């Protein structure tokens, strides 16, 4: 029996969802959940190659092409487009009615992530919402939820992120860092690997 039939992952930029909850995406996809991935893309600055990276990464994680939603938006100007983002999320909520939504932690201090997190909380009033961690953007993070993942899931996360050649200059793309974080979160729940989340809203039926 699947706990969450339909899951929505929201990425303020390509690679955010993979970084924050790639292992959990792989786990739920493997278990049969329907995964929808909404990503915002800066079409004025990013090349078509980055979109190809996104597509390859999502292939690895098990998200079908028809469940990937890509929307162009100017990076670092999300607050200016707040209403547009909210309206889009409301449309997606009405279309898919996700049981679980992954989005950036409300304590993420990247300006685009903050806007997406806040508007997501408004749009998905009837969904369980978990905020994923990106430690380089979090001074504070409350580990109030853990999702246990397997080596298979972590390997898919790392393989997916390996496709982002354009982002490999960032230190946090290091396999050592990402695997170490999964080990630490796993140790917190006496497991091998896990990903941690902040509970923004939980609904139990």
Question: Is 131 within 8 Å of 103 (Cβ atoms)?
Answer: yes
Sequence ranges of the domains in the chain: 6-201
- Strand 193-201 relative to strand 128-132, pairing: antiparallel
**Average pLDDT in the 173-183 region?**
96
The answer to whether the Cα torsion of 134, 140, 144, 148 is positive or negative is positive
Q: Average pLDDT in the 1-26 region?
A: 93
Strands 6-11 and 100-104: parallel
Long-range contacts of 91-94 (CB under 8 A, 24+ apart): 92/8, 92/36, 92/38, 92/123, 93/123, 93/124, 93/126, 93/127
Give the mean pLDDT of 153-172: 94
- Residue 44 pLDDT greater than 80, yes or no: no
Check pLDDT > 60 for residue 55.
Answer: yes
Given pLDDT bands bounded at 50, 70 and 90, which one contains residue 169? confident
Condensed to tens digits (0 to 9), the pLDDT of residues 109-137 reads 999 999 999 999 999 999 999 999 999 99
Q: Under CATH, what is the fold of the domain 6-201?
A: Rossmann fold (3.40.50)
Could you tell me if 116 and 38 are in contact, meaning their C-beta atoms sit under 8 angstroms apart?
no
- Strand-pairing partners, residue 130, are 102, 199
Indicate the pTM of the whole model.
0.95
Mean pLDDT of 168-181: 94
Q: Which residues contact 173 (CB under 8 A, 6 or more apart)?
A: 161, 164, 167
Q: Which residue has the tokens 């923004």?
A: 200
β-pairing, 68-72 with 100-104? unpaired
């Amino acid at each position: 029996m699947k706990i969450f039939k339909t899951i929505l992952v929201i990425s303020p930029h390509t690679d955010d969802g993979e970084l924050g909850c790639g292992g959990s995406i792989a786990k739920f996809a493997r278990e049969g959940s329907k995964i929808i991935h909404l990503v915002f893309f800066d079409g004025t600055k990013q090349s078509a190659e980055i979109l190809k990276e996104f597509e390859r990464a999502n292939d690895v994680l098990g998200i079908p092409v028809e469940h990937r939603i890509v929307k162009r938006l100017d990076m670092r100007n999300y607050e200016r487009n707040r209403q547009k983002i909210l309206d889009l999320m409301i449309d997606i909520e009405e279309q898919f009615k996700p049981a679980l939504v992954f989005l950036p932690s409300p304590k993420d201090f990247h300006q685009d992530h903050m806007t997406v997190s806040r508007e997501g909380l408004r749009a998905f009033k009837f969904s369980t919402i978990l905020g994923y961690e990106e430690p380089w953007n979090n001074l504070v993070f409350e580990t109030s939820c853990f999702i246990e993942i397997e080596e298979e899931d972590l390997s898919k996360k790392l393989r997916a992120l390996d496709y982002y050649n354009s982002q490999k200059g960032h230190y946090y793309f290091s396999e050592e860092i990402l695997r170490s974080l999964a080990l630490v979160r796993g140790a917190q729940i006496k497991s091998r690997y896990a990903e941690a989340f902040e509970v923004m809203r939980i609904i139990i039926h």
